[in-house]
Amino acid sequence: MTDSTDLADLDATAQAALIASGEVSASELVDAAIARVDTVNPELNAVIHRLDDRARDRAKQPLTGPFAGVPMVVKDLDGELAGAPLHLGNKLLKEIGHVAKENSYQFDKFEQAGFVIIAKTNTPEFGLQITTEPHAYGATRNPWNPNHSTGGSSGGSAAAVASGMTAVGHAGDGGGSIRVPSSECGLVGLKPSRGRVSVGPQDGEVWNGLVARHVVTRTVRDSAAVLDAIAGPMPGDPYTAPLPLRPFLTEVGADVAPLRIGLRTAAPGGICEVDPECVAAAEAVARTLESLGHTVEIAAPDALDDGELIGAFLGVVAANTLGLVEDLARIAGRPVTEADVEPGTWALAEAGRAVSALEYMQVISTAHAWTRRMLSWWHGGFDLLLTPMLAALPPELGVLNPVDGDPAMATILQTPYAIFAAGFNVSGQPAISLPLAMSESGLPIGVQLVGAANREDLLLRVAAQLEVTMPWSSRRPPIFAG
């Protein structure tokens, strides 16, 4: 058997090839991943629910699919795994010991692809924070520097993948929650198009279509291959993305015709300053793209500076947070009080309670109108938009979700970490964060590429170009299982 520390360096595609060749068994691969969790999780608090017995039992079964026998982790949010804890970062659900009753379609597809789920990862309460510091489970620490955040809401999965526990971690993105943790932990994070991956059968849409689900990975090919495995319409989906012309994996390494790419480094609406290192990272990528034959211009959709975006986004999130609190009351069998949730959650729910039915209809209408303005830019001759992923470097823990203090201030402090991300949840476009730079202090810096509606294919082609030209595969954080 290949040593466990060697396996930590392999992406999921390479691990699957080892199993297919007979060099290792699924049980050996799963045991090695569990051992790596034992090694680094005490330092990181990325994994909160161990599923060792379930994983070992599954690894002994005949497994098929492109990732047969490959271990992965899933976050404790954005999907259900029958019989496993489902606490959503909430202390009341933790006290109750809430357990999922059925699989989500996405988790079914993970297992149909052959993945073995070994654990569930930490997440902020209800996915509402851009950092993974739930009061119920404590902070997940960044393997590049444990004093810093991993981002949220998929920060537990991102820390697990970046530290080598597994090569793939399930993730979801309602305002940057795939892309922000990928940026802060040095990973590939593709947010698919709206409707590309089903959120059923528990939901038809989440946050009125803002939420998309996928994974975080270390390689572009893993991101593409997993999307092939989990994408596609399912019964009852209210809308779906058009089927791709060919598998997404075939886009990795495919020729790319010269593209017209817009570059935007100023924060939308001028709402905050952008760290010079984040600007420099995006500008360096722009120069690389030009060297590859693409045209890069200082240009971006005017809609990014439309002040209606933030109001529409927050209106949707607030109203849906109220719905989450009501769902919590139904599960608990009693009214939920302020003591049952974090201060930021309660404040958002109260804001949602103040939204009338008419106002909510107007919020949705505003979001749709803004999306039409946004997408018109891509129809005007541009292929991609290039931006920094974050306006600031990963923050220190305790800043964005303190136990005490004004929750409104915490929301304001999160702005630099979502400002380049959230608009593309509203528009439903695919966007990817790539780990293309490192700060002087040794923290990863992600750069974002945004495609036209349903153009994951083009994003993956260009991402693969950059992976070869500006490689990140040799980088490892100080806390790494290998």
CATH of the domain at 239: 3.90.1300.10
Angle at 130 between CA 129 and CA 135, to 5 degrees: 45
Q: What is the pLDDT of residue 205?
A: 97
**pLDDT for res 4:** 67
Identify whether the C-beta of residue 432 lies closer than 8 Å to the C-beta of residue 459. yes
Strand segments, DSSP code E, in 42-106 are 47-50, 71-75
Asked if the structure places residue 477 within a domain, the reply is no
- Tens place of pLDDT for every residue, the chain, 482 residues? 566 668 999 999 999 999 999 999 999 999 999 999 999 999 999 999 999 999 999 999 999 999 999 999 999 999 999 999 999 999 999 999 999 999 999 999 999 999 999 999 999 999 999 999 999 999 999 999 999 999 999 999 999 999 999 999 999 999 999 999 999 999 999 999 999 999 999 999 999 999 999 999 999 999 999 999 999 999 999 999 999 999 999 999 999 999 999 999 999 999 999 999 999 999 999 999 999 999 999 999 999 999 888 888 989 999 999 999 999 999 999 999 999 999 999 999 999 999 999 999 999 999 999 999 999 999 999 999 999 999 999 999 999 987 777 877 777 889 999 999 999 999 999 999 999 999 999 999 999 999 999 999 999 999 999 999 999 999 999 999 98
Q: Is 365 among the domain residues?
A: yes
Question: What's the confidence (pLDDT) of residue 5?
Answer: 66
3-state secondary structure of 416: helix
Contact 79, 201 (CB under 8 A): no
**Helix, strand, coil percentages in the chain from 3-state DSSP, rounded to 5:** 45, 15, 45
pTM over 0.95: yes
Residue 358 CB-density burial (10 A; 0-12 exposed, 13-18 middle, 19+ buried)? exposed
Q: How many domains does the chain have?
A: 1
* Residue 453 and residue 191 in contact, taking contact as beta carbons nearer than 8 Å: no
Tell me, yes or no, whether 400 lies in a domain.
yes
466 phi/psi in degrees, rounded to 5: -70, -35
For 357, other C-beta atoms within 10 Å of its C-beta total 8
| Residue 168 vs residues 13, 72, 142: alpha-carbon distances, Å | 10, 5, 17
The residue whose two tokens read 């992600």 is 446
Query: In the β-sheet with 71-75, what is the strand arrangement from edge to edge?
Result: 47-50, 116-121, 71-75, 168-173, 212-217, 188-191, 431-438, 444-451, 384-388, 260-263, 295-298
Which tokens is 367 given? Answer: 């979001």
Whether 479 maps to a domain, the answer reads: no
What one-character DSSP code corresponds to residue 263?
E
Return the pLDDT at 1: 54
Tell whether 431 is covered by a domain.
Answer: yes
**DSSP secondary-structure letter at 258?**
-
The continuous run of DSSP H or E covering 385 comes out as: strand 384-388
Report the distance separating Cα 39 and Cα 362, nearest Å: 51
What is the pLDDT, as a whole number, of residue 57?
98
Residue 308 lies in a domain: yes
Chain centroid to CA 458: 19
> Cα(70)–Cα(113) distance, rounded to whole angstroms?
9
pLDDT at 349: 95
- Containing 20, the helix (H) or strand (E) segment is helix 12-21
Does residue 293 come out as left (phi exceeding 0), alpha (psi in the -120 to 50 range) or beta?
left
| Residues acting as catalytic residues | 75, 153, 177
- Structural domain containing residue 8: 4-469
- pLDDT, residue 209, reads 97
Q: 86 in a domain, yes or no? A: yes
Q: Specify the amino acid at residue 262.
A: G
Residue 482 counted as domain residue:
no
